[in-house]
Homo-oligomer: A and B are copies of this chain.
Amino acid sequence: MKLDIHEVNLAVEAAFREHGSGNVQMPPKVYITLPDGDFRTMPAYMPAEQLAGIKCVNVHPENPGKGLPTVMALTTILDPGTGLPLAILNSTGLTDLRTGAAGAIATKYLAGKKTVIVGLVGTGRQAAAQLGAISREIDVAGVRIWSRKEASAGKFAEKFSQFDCRTGTLPFVCDSDVIVTTTPSRSPVVQGEWVHEGTHINAIGADAPGKEELEPELLKRAMVIVDDPTQAIHSGEINVPIRNGLFSPAEIAGTLGEVVLGLKKRTNSNQITIFDSTGLAIQDLAIASLAMKTGEFQELEFP
């Protein structure tokens, strides 16, 4: 299946617009803890697009050693009028793309620049998705790359040679216009002193209780935008600082939906902006709907 990334970005942006307008039903994701990971259930309904469904997605960090991806996802789309399952999609790749799209939308609205240097902290599949999506919305003049394993940074730079890529230390990479963090870290990787005024950060990695990538001091200095407050408080970048009393839910500046609607925006060019992404079920519905128009399908008998 070949999706146009700009179209994905637009579809996901439309979903955030609906979310910002309060026009969706989307309970917080439900977590089930398994011995070596977890799985999450994400149902939603977006009346404007006549889209209803559920994504089910696991996170098993030991999977690569077993020849399987860490994250795998299935999305079931239902006809809202009858509840009939219309499609079951392998949404493992789609999940990467829809998360990349959220980062691209946040960057487009919040970075405050048309041309940027992007600093990547972490070089996994999501780093690639973020770079791919962001570069479709604004001009990427250069990419700075850091990975815990130096070799991974080098490989990533080779793979994305269409960009002006440089690998380097964390302070070097954080000296960028847009920082994208995509690590599975459980303690801050990015120190506040490395981040200059006016930077926009997509904080993507923290998606479960206990995970964090940014020094809490950075959150205090910044305008913090979340995708969904309930999910972000539970499992986003702000979850650990909130539990430790270093950040308060009242300090959340707004949601990405409100940003897309123009209700919330960067107040000046020196402000640091942070987008705390946890991933919304409506992003999954939006991209599934797009995939259903272009993908290849196998008929299954039902009911």
Contacts and interface: CB of A to CB of B under 8 A. Distances in A.
B74 A76 contact: yes
A48 interface: no
Contacts of A59: 83
Interface in A25-80: 25, 27, 30, 32-37, 39, 41, 43-45, 47, 52, 54, 56, 58-60, 63, 66, 68-69, 72, 74, 76, 78, 80
Contacts of A36: 81-82
A35 B83 contact: no
Interface in A81-100: 81-85, 88, 90, 92
A81 B66 CA distance: 10
A162 interface: no
A183 to B, nearest CB: 20
Contacts of A27: 30, 32
Given A78-B39, A90-B303, A83 B54 contact: no
A36 B79 CA distance: 11
Contacts of A250: none
Contacts of A35: 47, 80-81
Interface residues of A, number: 43
A294 interface: no
A298 interface: yes
A66 B82 CA distance: 8
B43 A39 contact: yes
Nearest to A67: B82
A300 interface: yes
B84 A72 contact: yes
A85 B80 contact: no
A58 B83 contact: yes
A69 B84 CA distance: 9
Give the residue among A43, A78, A300, A302 with the most B Cβ atoms within 10 A: A43
Nearest to A298: B300
Contact of A82 (B54, B68, B83): B68
B63 A34 contact: no
B25 A52 contact: no
Contacts of A84: 58, 68, 72
10 contacts: A39-B43, A41-B41, A41-B54, A63-B83, A68-B82, A68-B84, A74-B76, A74-B85, A90-B301, A92-B303
Interface of A: 25, 27, 30, 32-37, 39, 41, 43-45, 47, 52, 54, 56, 58-60, 63, 66, 68-69, 72, 74, 76, 78, 80-85, 88, 90, 92, 298, 300-303
Given A60-B82, A68-B82, 6 more contacts: A34-B83, A35-B47, A39-B52, A54-B56, A72-B302, A88-B88
